[in-house]
Amino acid sequence: MKRLVFLTGAGMSAESGISTFRDSGGLWEQYPVEAVASIGGYERDPELVINFYNERRRQLLDVRPCRGHELVAAMEKDFDVTVITQNVDDLHERAGSTKVIHLHGELMKATSTRDPNKPSQIVTLTPEHLDIQMGEKATDGSQLRPYIVWFGEPVPMLETAAEVVSRADIFVIIGTSLNVYPAAGLTAFAPPEAPIYLIDPKDVPWNAGHGFHHIKKGASAGMEELIKELSTK
């Protein structure tokens, strides 16, 4: 069974109604990135950051996977699929994808401020206990914080993701600007012989190491076209 690897970004979840950060009207225009998505911002004002992600978590409960998420999951019938996502939502999992690598953390999880990547400190939040409160402690006694990889922090799953990309038979990129590093650097690990498909309705300034096929559509329509193309191979 061929190994099909997806790298997904904010455009993947935009069709579900989740606000992107970089587009016009996106979250970066409402909240400075350094205030809510950096370790320095958290250290300066943890309550602001915790409340920001509490809001994002409430929003997540009100949306559902789009057709694109569902089609990615459906590819598991014919391929060995791994999804590498820059998104912190759980829409890939809710759509049925079984192998998902989250590069930037997971919104529905919380962890220790002292040791955020220690597995024993990571807890899954539930709709009944959705918000993190100031003063709420992890088991190591430090403030419970969102399980998010912020700017200024290492990306613990990056090496695992690079290894997965390096073994891809087909590599598909959906809805990412390819200008956020180190995640964008994953494209360099794709084998030279692996065909690459880029699904994005906009022009993406990407100097690929070798040729790629740009499907200029959104996530759902783009996945439908990709499935047609792969079925003829």
Task: Cite the beta strand spans of the chain per DSSP E.
Answer: 3-8, 80-85, 100-102, 105-112, 123-124, 144-148, 170-174, 196-199, 213-215
Instruction: State the residue for tokens 């350094």.
Output: 34
Residues 6+ apart with CB under 8 A from 187: 7, 165, 171, 173, 178, 196, 206, 208, 209
Amino acid (one-letter) located at 195: P
> Which DSSP helix (H) or strand (E) runs through 55?
helix 46-61
Q: Is residue 102 annotated as a catalytic residue, yes or no?
A: no
Distance between CA atoms of residues 68 and 170, nearest Å: 17
Phi-psi category of residue 135: left, alpha or beta, with phi > 0 → left and psi -120 to 50 → alpha: left
- Per annotation, catalytic residue among 92, 102, 104, 214: 104
Active-site residues, by number, are 104
